[in-house]
Structure 1
Amino acid sequence: MIYSNPLRGPADVADWVAEGPVQSGTYNPGTNDDGGPGSGSDGATALVLSGGVDAEVHGDHAHWTLWCPEEIPDDVRIAWEFLPLEEPGLAMVFFSARGHGGEDLFSPSLAPRTGFYPQYHSGDIDALHISYFRHKYASERAFRTCNLRKSAGFELVAQGADPLPSPEDAEGFYRMEVVKDGPRVAFSINELLLFQWVDPRPGPLGGGYFGIRQMAPLRAAYRNLSIHPL
């Protein structure tokens, strides 16, 4: 095990680095916010993440990124559980994130980041990022895909179908898994392989930081993050 976090509530991400207006809470699988029945009732709580400002008022500045503070090596299997609670919105993870010149992601020499998306895909950091549960816009909800992009540059390098349902149809948590193996990246949900890609260029992105990102007003629950060596 390289890193593990049960993600049972806000205390478990107290040392994570928040960029943008992220809001955290605790999901009780026995009840929902109105006190009614909840999904995934196996007795374990989970971390709820959402935006902390009005998405209609703040637009693209209502979105956020939350970074795990520990640098992750290359050749790893990253797994977590995900449950959508309220849409519209979009969920994403970053990995292999570093400064464009090899700097630590949190180096003061890098430009400040506030959750505004262009700072991540076309700024002074390099990263791979997978967007899934792409339910923000009508076109995304009409034809659902998972996308892998390589940045800086916002290059779409792989795409696959997204089997995640809307919140009203979700039955418990879904197991997400990213394999980062040198130039190879693979992504699966509930052991269903959705895409894999091998970077054809020399010097593929290696180790770096892992982060969670959402587009507001999505509310979603997360738990059981684990990172193992291959």
Structure 2
Amino acid sequence: MRTIFCLGLLLITSRSYALAADAKPETISPAGQTQVSLVDGKWHVNGQVTYPGTKAEGLLMNVRMVNSTFEDRRRPEFDVEANTAAFLAQIPSYAAHGVRAFTLCLQGGMPGYEGAVNSAFAPDGSLRQEYMDRIRRVIEACDRQGMVVILGCYYQRQSGVLKDENAVRAGLVNVVQWIRDNGLTNVVLETANEYPHRGFVHEVLRSPEGQAGLLRLAKQTWPQLLVSASGYGDGKLHAPVAEAGDFLLIHFNGTPVEEIPTRIAALRKYGKPIVCNEDDKTGRTAARAAELCVENGASWGLMLNQLNQYQPFIFQGADDDPVVYARLRELTIPSKPEPQRQATGMKFLPPDVDWDHPVYQTSFEEPADLEDWRLEGGLRMSVAGGNLVLESRPGSTKSEANANHLVCWLTQEVPADFLLEFSVRPENRQQGLNIVFFNTRGLHGESIFDPALAPRDGLFKQYHSGDLNGYHISYWAAGRGTANVRKNRGFHLVAEGTDLVTDGPAGDFQTVRLYKHDGTIRCTVDDALSVAYDDDGTTFGPVWTHAGWIGLRQMGHTVRCQYGHLKVWPLTSGK
């Protein structure tokens, strides 16, 4: 098995790359949490092949967003920060539709007019701090989403900023060292965009031999970094460039759709992963281009000139081109298996609970009992009559209550395997939906209270499709009839059972128990099985076997609900 890693240094003792003379030193960020690698010619992120179980397995579907960090020093009125912020806000939307990488560039791209001055390089090849800070902010945002960045160095319209070929080489070395020293483990390098372009003023950039030399220089500077250079829009590369890079970067702007398979086939002789990271087709034509790339084992990348490339730069997530992004999602998202449906209603008594040693218990007798709980969203939490009371602002319909969702987290970490028990009494059993989150952690194993995670205020997608992994069960959903188990991140429905709360005894408390042992999940209401799920670790990711946090969620239209006598026990099998 051949594995090539792009990994950050565990210990950084100094910074050896050159910053422009006016640059101010900054704190080096910790090593990245998203690590990209190549294993036997397939792309992997954090040790897992990309898009497992799909047609695009092992590929890197991407979008060119080189002007998300654009500046023009001749037009100071352009709001650089607002432009970058607009892109950052849409990264989750692109990611949700199958995009796993973005191409950025330290000299941007064509903004729709000539004469712009947009470069992270000073004339001597040193790096301009302000520009690099902006680039790093985008890279780190991608890192948090588990995404890769194809970072370009030189662009034909800006290469003249560099005073000579020595500056070009120095600039490349500075970029490689900057990536390494900042621990940006989700980055691969594109030394030049369309290297044969006549717009490059330096021979070392536009000649195949010179470009191959730059690729070798990058590898000598940091052998672990994955590097390549992109060719013209005809999908072709010169042999010296193809042989010097770790993967093959091609463009399909000028390539008719029907010729894509032939162009890909011609590159297979190099035995390296093929990544198209620029194709300006749109709509159905672009969707077909993506299909053909995937069918022929190549990654594909979209470039939307009129929206993302040319001013005014527009970033709308998947709404940029709904047809293309819908197809990307189809190619990269596994087809959903039917949720498990097991018989419900029978008695289920947990077999291996350590009843004598609860890890947490409370009776909610006084306000001090709330110190172990943290409320996100909603109106308030309080204690009354020996119960926890969670309330949202009143709303008579689901739509009116959308802004009132809440999650109340137990701040104590709970073992991976456990039994949770609590009593519950909704104010109105015919209106509302309640959920339990469990085994919940950050995507990279963080505490859910880690300040580096995105803020949460009760909005549902922040919990099921944000930066948290875990499970949740909707044990009560008035009007739906089912109790559901979902696996996160991704809101994947994996099991359906029976809602035993809606038609429960009016005015009475019911006892909910949630049992979790490895992949075995059982939820009961008054000892009757409500929903069951057996996670085999092959559906929507691995079994969540980590310790984590438990949260009680109410959708806004629940309005008010009481909980009592909450306890958590470990399992004897986990001792």
Q: Give the shorter-chain TM-score range.
A: 0.7 to 0.9
Counterpart selection for 1:20 from 373, 377, 381: 377
Give the counterpart of 2:437 among 94, 98, 101.
Answer: 94
Tell me what 2:365 maps to: 8
Query: Which deviates more, 46-55 or 187-196?
Result: 46-55
What SS is found at the alignment partner of 1:217?
helix
Whole-Å Cα distance in 2 between the matches of residues 55 and 71 of structure 1? 35
CA change 1:92–1:10 in 2 (3 A) is farther
Once the two structures are overlaid, the 10-residue window that deviates more, 212-221 or 173-182, is 212-221
Asked if 1 retains the 8 angstrom alpha-carbon contact of 2:432 and 2:477, the reply is yes
Unmatched segments (≥5 aa) in structure 2: 1-357
User: How far does the alpha carbon of each residue in 1:184-222 deviate from its partner, in whole angstroms, 9 at most, with x for none?
Assistant: 111111110122211111641121000111012321110
Query: What is the TM-score when the length of structure 1 is the normalising length?
Result: 0.82
Which residue matches 1:213? 553
Q: Which structure: larger Rg?
A: 2
Q: Sort the Cα spacing of 1:10 and 1:127 in 2 relative to 1 into closer, same or farther, 3 A.
A: farther
The 1:18/1:92 distance shift into structure 2, 3 A limit, reads: same
Aligned equivalent of 1:120, options 439, 460, 463:
463
Residue 204 in structure 1 maps to residue 543 in structure 2:
yes
Q: Distance in 2 between matches of 1:52 and 1:12?
A: 23
Within 2, Cα distance between the matches of 1:26 and 1:113?
A: 23
Instruction: Answer 1 or 2: which has greater helix percent.
Output: 2
Q: What is the letter of the counterpart of residue 109 of structure 1?
A: A
- The structure-2 alpha-carbon separation of the partners of 1:212 and 1:9, relative to structure 1 and needing over 3 Å to count, comes to farther
Contact 1:145-1:161 within 8 A present in 2 as well: yes
Deviations 1:62-84, CA, capped at 9 Å, x for gaps: 10111000000111111100111
CA distance in 1, matches of 2:532, 2:445: 25
Structure 2 SS opposite 1:105: coil
Counterpart of 2:427 in structure 1 is: 85
Q: TM-score by structure 2 length? A: 0.34
Q: Which residue of 1 aligns with 2:511?
A: 175
| TM-superposed deviation, 1:166 | 5.3
Return 86-95 or 120-129, whichever deviates more: 86-95
Q: Measure how far apart 1:181 and its partner are.
A: 0.4
* Gaps in structure 1 of 5+ consecutive residues: 29-44, 136-140
1:103 and 2:440 aligned: no
Query: Aligned Cα RMSD in Å?
Result: 2.1
In 2, Cα distance between equivalents of 1:128 and 1:9: 30
Corresponding residue number in structure 1 for 2:91: none
| Number of equivalenced pairs | 207
Worse-matched range after superposition: 187-196 or 47-56:
47-56
Q: Partners in 1 of 2:528 and 2:518 — Cα distance? A: 21
Distance in 2, matches of 1:165 and 1:58, equals 21
Please tell me whether the aligned partners of residues 378 and 556 of structure 2 are also in contact (alpha carbons under 8 angstroms): no
Task: State which of 489, 500, 508 in structure 2 corresponds to 1:163.
Answer: 500
Name which of 449, 455, 477 aligns with 1:134: 477
Aligned-residue offset at 1:164: 1.5
8 Å CA contact retained: 1:17, 1:66:
yes
Q: Is the 8 A contact 1:55 1:216 kept in 2?
A: no
Hey, which of these two has a bigger chunk of strand by percent?
A: 1
SS of residue in 2 equivalent to 1:102: coil
Q: What is the deviation of 1:173?
A: 1.0
Question: Matches of residues 57-72 of structure 1 in structure 2 within 5 Å?
Answer: 59-72=401-414
How big is the shift at 1:11? 3.7
- In 2, the alpha carbon distance for the partners of 1:80 and 1:67 equals 14
SS in structure 2 of the partner of residue 14 of structure 1? helix
* Contact 1:94–1:212 under 8 Å retained in 2: yes
